[in-house]
Amino acid sequence: MADISRSEAAQIAEHCTACGVPHLAAGFLGEGLPLDEVKARVSAVATVRQMSTLARQKEPSIPADLGTNMLAEGYGVSEIRTELFERIVAEEEKTSISSHVPADRGNAGISASRASKERALKAQGITPTGGAGA
């Protein structure tokens, strides 16, 4: 862990506060990151927030602060994107999807079959008789 001066620590805290992510400052200071690295990570916050918002539209169970917390832990934008994608896919895999058109509901069974046969015979001009199969 690199030692940082008090003035640089204050600049890091001010920068994080100005960018709307004051909660990230403690993690950055704990890691001993220099101001330039902090600025690079904070600039990724807007991208991560946008990705998180889009991911949560698809899968609301994803925590709203997942992306920014991962960023504070040192993960990069591509790693966060991968994690969000994997969570969306994991939730979608729980959903069963059938591409088959469901069968019509209604008459079914032997009586429907008989009625259908009788209609077909009548259409051909044949009068069905009341035999064993009719």
Render pLDDT for 83-125 as a digit per residue (tens, 0 to 9): 999 999 998 888 877 777 776 666 566 777 788 888 888 888 8
3-state helix, strand, coil in the chain (%, to 5): 65, 0, 35
Q: Is the pLDDT of residue 82 over 60?
A: yes
Nearest to 104 by CA among 121, 118, 116: 116
Predicted confidence at residue 108, as pLDDT, reads: 63
> By the 8 A CB rule, do 35 and 8 touch?
yes
* Token pair in block for residue 41: 């990570």
Q: What sign does the dihedral 90-75-24-19 (CA atoms) show?
A: negative
* 134 or 48, greater pLDDT: 48
Question: Residue 134 has what pLDDT?
Answer: 46
In this prediction, residue 14 carries a pLDDT of 95
- Where is 55: in which H helix or E strand? helix 35-58
pLDDT, averaged across the chain:
85
- pTM of this structure: 0.50
Query: Over 90: is that where the pLDDT of 79 sits?
Result: yes
Cβ contact 16:28 at 8 Å:
yes
pLDDT value at position 56? 95
